[in-house]
Structure 1
């Protein structure tokens, strides 16, 4: 089962936000994340808040779109009553789980709920995640017709034995087909990859990169496999059934990915993300890294407005009960103090290609930059231009760079 929610203060029953949330809101972008917590099967490595049909107990997939729309309108009411200026959504992102397990009309109804509740900026980015085996050309065309602009396919690997270890069920031969369907519908395409799976060789990883690049997507994400406590894969590793991932091999895989993607015309813009150009960066994910505001809809979703962060109850049945009763679905929240916000700003911006303006760092952090340049973790040319940007080696050691910047 998914991990526990964070420990923090109880969320108020009325959902109202403190005055801090409204400060400077007019200068920040606003996004909406819609979590669809349903999967056909639970992959052995996954720690996301997802549920198969047998785990729903008191909730129905068929009711979910209407429940999400209720939260969207509840959210608009809360922001208005809390004095947070109304802003149209600049990005909308459907994640999961597998959003495309729902009928296309359900996703469209949820998207229309965003537009009705908050409005939509001209040129807004509207993305859904999808498994390659959960869509066809007609489904993708319906989404594009309704205003979706982008689809992110969970490819993970092109190698059957790697997919088997991850317990992914799609046929890797289907990837080029779904990518072409999405392009034909007029959607931008991202492919998500995972590297460092037990038993995956450098040649296996190269094969997956070759296949992904050959599909000519607009964007590619490549994430190292993280073994999350409580997952089936963690238990398999603990029992010796599956080998522990090799960190040195994962580093080699990252360097291979960065080199191959760069040669193919993709530029990195965040440690795990590459795009053909600035226009194809994931604007929604960038909003997380740059500290913008977003409302998270659905069980276990997290939201953030002006330094106030909260998260919803986890189980779809508990969420449905709250929505039916017209109550806030929030389970807990925290208000970040200035020191915590600054540490998070450094932690997140350091991972991006745009980096951090050196003038915004505290004097002790600026002092640390010289040593980071000497250790070839920070780009010297960018630093001379007043900006902290990680080198490829620095990206592999991003957490260590952050610790030195914040004096830990």
Structure 2
């Protein structure tokens, strides 16, 4: 175990229904052969482990889709196999994304006994009308009961909210956010509603039935969010993620710090051995690849030093801590860097490149200009 640790991502592709804002690799199926899927994921896991021996896992993340629909026995089997193949670093973080339905909340105790020690709960809103607009299957009452169950079952709890919803005022969002902060979790993921191509919301927007948020007002909401969470002791450590010191998502920090991670399951990405791996997205195609090849990989590409530097830039500037300049090599346009520093959008003190608060407001544009 002399090499640096790995993060491990497992994708469960199934959902009860498709939310209108969601562009993730999620699928609705009337029936799922749980035994078949457990064996397929274990086979995919074993393939990745054979490529990366001797590197303990620092984190495991069950994402989706809706991984809280996985039988706890499957979660336990995957955790046990991961420990057997790789070994665990001390204090490993094992996160599972969960929907706050009463059916899934009933499994929280079993999931904790399986080894999950952190849950990320998809509350998404603290208002029944907003939940209906977002296509969520749970009510506010049901969501808050699930949150209470999660806080009893797991060592660490995070939950998601979506803001910048149509008709939402600064006052509305501040009240909702302060209520959320009052629940006492150590981590919040707060996302502005975006209209993603291929979603139901995109179709509505294309017909003029759904308007996107005014960018200036969205910026006001963003600044209010950061100020309010900082005041409450959960400052932003990434564009959309806020935590008490020490409660940050270690798994996601591996992505943003451009560390190595392996991914299994339909549509999962990986970055290991200076290669990018991508699994087949459609569940049926993934299963066929497992049967044919023993793994679900659709493509695997060597990452050149220039590409790795560019990806480190794209990920690292999302963080408040920024990214080491030494990692960026020729990924940045030095003239653009000087210009953006002059405008107060970037700083590179202590050999780290960081976006300033003003830069965070226009991060996508900033990255496009900065990339060589």
Structure 2 length as normaliser, TM-score? 0.91
Over aligned residue pairs, what C-alpha RMSD do you find? 2.3
CA deviations 1:141-175 (Å, max 9, x no partner) are: 22222321100001111122222221112112334
Relative to structure 1, is the Cα distance of residues 27 and 120 closer, same or farther in structure 2, using a 3 angstrom cutoff?
closer
1:347 lines up with 2:320 in the alignment: no
- Alpha carbons 1:48, 1:97 under 8 Å: kept: yes
Match of 1:392 among 354, 357, 360: 357
| Separation in 2, partners of 1:172, 1:132 | 9
Does the residue aligned with 1:310 lie in a helix, a strand or coil? strand
1:187 matches 2:160:
no
For the residue of structure 2 that corresponds to 1:221, the secondary structure is: strand
Q: Provide the residue aligned with 2:291 in structure 1.
A: 324
After superposition, the C-alpha distances for 1:267-296 in whole angstroms (9 at most, x for unaligned) are 21111111101x211111111112222221
Q: In structure 2, the residue corresponding to 1:339 is in which secondary structure?
A: helix
Tell me the equivalent position of 2:346. Answer: 378
Runs of 4+ in 1 over 6 A off after TM superposition: none
Worse-matched range after superposition: 394-403 or 232-241: 394-403
2:282 corresponds to: 315
CA contact (8 A) 2:312 2:327 kept: no
Q: Given that residues 100 and 134 in structure 1 are in contact (C-alpha distance below 8 angstroms), is that contact kept between their aligned partners in structure 2?
A: no
User: C-alpha displacement at 1:366, in angstroms?
Assistant: 5.4
- Pairwise CA distance, 1:315: 1.6
Larger displacement relative to structure 2 (127-136 or 36-45): 127-136
Say if 2:73 and 2:114, in contact at 8 Å, map to a contact too: no
Which among 200, 213, 217 is matched to residue 181 of structure 2?
213
Partner of 1:86: 54
- Counterpart of 2:196 (choices 228, 231, 238) is 228
CA positional deviation for 1:134? 5.3
Partner residue of 1:249 out of 204, 208, 217 = 217
Gaps of at least 5 residues in structure 1 are 1-24
Deviations 1:319-347 (A, max 9, x none): 22232345331112222222221111111
**Shift of the alpha carbon at 1:369?**
4.3
Tell me the number of residue pairs that the alignment of Structure 1 and Structure 2 aligns: 371
Could you say what secondary structure the match of 1:48 adopts? Answer: coil
Q: Does 1:273 align with 2:241?
A: yes
Matched, 1:49 2:25: yes
1:162-177 mapped onto 2 (5 Å cutoff): 162-177=130-145
Structure 2 CA distance for partners of 1:250 and 1:227, relative to 1, 3 Å: same
1:295-322 superposed Cα distances (whole Å, 9 cap, x missing partner): 2111111111132111111121222223
Given the superposition, is the C-alpha separation of residues 359 and 318 from structure 1 closer, same or farther in structure 2, using an over 3 Å criterion? closer
Q: Which moved more, 1:119-128 or 1:191-200?
A: 191-200
**In the alignment, structure 1 residue 66 sits paired with structure 2 residue 39:** yes
Deviation at 1:27, TM superposition (A): 4.5
How has the CA–CA distance of structure 1 residues 85 and 105 changed in structure 2, closer, same or farther, with 3 Å as cutoff?
Answer: closer
Q: After superposition, give the CA deviation of every residue in 1:16-59 in whole Å (9 maximum; x if it has no partner).
A: xxxxxxxxx965431111101111110111111111124x7xx6
- C-alpha offsets along residues 50-78 of structure 1, whole Å, 9 cap, x if unaligned? 11124x7xx6345322221121122223x
Are 1:179 and 1:217, in contact at CA under 8 Å, matched by a contact in 2?
A: no
229-238 or 325-334, which deviates more? 325-334
What stretches of structure 2 of length at least 5 have no aligned partner?
none
Question: 1:36 aligns to what?
Answer: 12
Whole-Å Cα distance in 1 between the matches of residues 178 and 46 of structure 2?
44
1:165/1:198 contact within 8 Å kept: no
1:140 aligned onto 2:116? no
1:41 match: secondary structure: coil
3-state secondary structure, aligned to 1:125: strand
Deviates further, 59-68 or 39-48: 59-68
* Shift in CA distance, 240/34, structure 1 to aligned 2, threshold 3 Å: same
Instruction: Report if aligned partners of 1:162, 1:199 keep a CA contact under 8 Å in 2.
Output: no
1:296 to 258, 263, 282: 263
Specify whether residues 314 and 404 from structure 1 end up closer, same or farther in structure 2 by C-alpha distance, changes over 3 A only. Answer: closer
Q: Distance in 1 between matches of 2:49 and 2:349?
A: 44
Q: Name which of structure 1's ranges 191-200 and 235-244 shifts more when overlaid on structure 2.
A: 191-200
- After superposition, the C-alpha distances for 1:201-236 in whole angstroms (9 at most, x for unaligned) are 333322331232111111111122221211111111
Normalized against structure 1, the TM-score is what?
A: 0.84
C-alpha contact (below 8 Å) 1:176/1:215 kept by paired residues: no
